[in-house]
Chain A
Amino acid sequence: MPDIELKNISNYVFNGLNMEIFDKELLVVIGQNGAGKSTLLNIIAGLVEHEGSVLFDGVLVNRMLTDKRRVGYLFQNLALFPHLDVASNIGYGPAVNGNPRENIAQRVDELLRLMKIEHLRDRYPKNLSGGERQRVALARALAVSPQVLLLDEPFNSLDTGMCSCIRQEIKRIQRGLGITTVLVTHDMAEAVEMGDRIVVMNGGKVHEVADIQSIHSYDPDDIPHLQNCTGCAIDCYCKG
């Protein structure tokens, strides 16, 4: 899985942003609305115009189209294909990449098992609960064996119990598959629970980068941009 480098990224949100995401790590990007979190993911995925360089394992991918970057993207609204059933949603990526029918079926079965949603195979997204939709969306993103997994506030629509359960599952899968992952959130509890490192963003700038261990030593006043973020009170984590 690649080490991702963003060098001197500029567009309507960023002005010379530099960032590195290490191989196999789960980097959490946290910040308020408008901080540029989702735009950062879109830049990695190749979905928005920008200046500067994006490198996967040292290789410049600026000119590489989104469909060639092998990026698994879990959107905030999940963006499942409403006209396809669960199996077809998961099999969409392998199918458009020209895999043989038998391989697609096999991959879909694997992912249905991995996400524990075999019983949902023939259902359409409108007939799924929030948690089930989440699992289907993650399975769909993983179906193309992505090099990078981008998660854009994927737990927003879930209730607290379900949220914690899905977080742990995503973390388990991410660790198991060793996929370089970027999770965007504005929930500090989520960030601390899931991340290896945390990047705090504000107004298109990186305000702070910290290992998950060292974040416990922070004083909340040191991170003013997080004061409006949700989740378990920041003090629980920051004052150790």
Chain B
Amino acid sequence: MRIRNILDGSIPIIIFILVWESIARWHIVPEYIFPSFLAVMGEFYHLTVNGVLLNNLASSLFRVLAGFLLGSVAGIMMGTVMGCRQIINRSFNPIFSLLYPIPTLGWAPLLMIWIGINEMLPIILIFLCSFFPVLYNTITGIRSVDSDVIKAAKTLGASDRKIMTSVILPLAVPNIFTGLRLEAGMAWRVVIAAEMVAIPTGIGALLIRSESLLRVDIIIVCLMVLSVMCLVFERVFQYIETKMTKEWR
């Protein structure tokens, strides 16, 4: 069944590649504008071997991991406090409600002036893009825990801290991971955009340099890498979530 599913999913991809390769080989469009699939794969190999792709990927990956980790940890911690303490929720909710709708890249000009164009810029942008969704998903997760389950833990002798670590947070995991999974992909989109406009290294910077050199093959390689990275991040979180909750959900 699993092999059948993989086959079913692969067929449209194979057809897509065949159509792409055929159109490129008919030379309806000049090759520098529409390179063939094999030419793109050749360039992928070339960029991998000479280290250009891996160096840029490593720069982007570091920024994504740093920003995402900081944003997620802050979002989970703040969300936990806001989910549990009404007074903190009432105090912070208005300001977070005002800040959340601002598109992440909208912060870029302000941050460029405040902190300059350096390594911190994409990290802070990714922090902002990760923080709010994880915050709200954590609050939702904590609020959705059945109050009788919490009361049951209390009657059994659990302290508030123990209830938090042994009941509330484990039961909020599915919601927290929904936020993390969605934002993992978004973090990659933000880092690419930041690198395209401001940072000279990373996949986004390689993309924008390739555009100025009319290297469509490299642009496509970068887009493919981006797509794979988003997918890998999402799948990793899905895997961890399933591992943590499949027995009881």
Contacts and interface: CB of A to CB of B under 8 A. Distances in A.
Interface stretch (A18-26, A54-62, A91-99, A198-206): A91-99
Contact of B158 (A69, A79, A96, A126): A96
Interface residues of A, number: 32
Interface string B154-172: 1111110010001100110
Nearest to A82: B248
Most chain B CB atoms below 10 A, which of A45, A70, A96: A96
Contact of A83 (B155, B156, B162, B170): B170
Most chain B CB atoms below 10 A, which of A93, A126, A141: A93
A79 B149 contact: yes
Interface in B149-204: 149, 151-159, 162, 166-167, 170-171
A182 to B, nearest CB: 13
Interface residues of B, number: 21
B247 interface: yes
A96 B171 contact: no
A71 interface: yes
Interface string A66-77: 111111110111
A125 interface: yes
A67 B248 contact: no
Nearest to B155: A73
Contact of A92 (B148, B153, B159): B153
B242 interface: no
Nearest to A98: B157
Contacts of B158: 67, 92, 96
B2 interface: no
Contacts of B149: 79-82
Nearest to B173: A83
B8 interface: no
A148 B152 CA distance: 14
Interface string A123-146: 011100000000000001101100
A71 B155 contact: yes
A232 interface: no
Most chain B CB atoms below 10 A, which of A83, A97, A143, A144: A83
Contacts of B4: none
Interface string B124-146: 00000000000000000000001
Contact of B248 (A75, A97, A125): A125
B163 to A, nearest CB: 9
B249 interface: yes
A82 B155 contact: no
A41 to B, nearest CB: 10
B245 interface: yes
B199 to A, nearest CB: 42
B159 A67 contact: yes
B159 A75 contact: no
Given A67-B159, A77-B146, A96-B162, A83 B154 contact: no
Contacts of B249: 82, 126
A47 interface: yes
A124 to B, nearest CB: 5
A70 B156 CA distance: 7
Contacts of B152: 73, 75, 79-81, 140
Contacts of A80: 149, 152
Nearest to B162: A96
Nearest to A96: B158
A75 B151 contact: yes
B157 A93 contact: yes
A45 B155 contact: yes
A81 B154 CA distance: 12
Given A76-B148, A96-B159, 11 more contacts: A47-B154, A67-B155, A69-B155, A75-B152, A82-B171, A82-B248, A82-B249, A93-B157, A96-B158, A140-B152, A141-B156
Interface of B: 146, 148-149, 151-159, 162, 166-167, 170-171, 245, 247-249
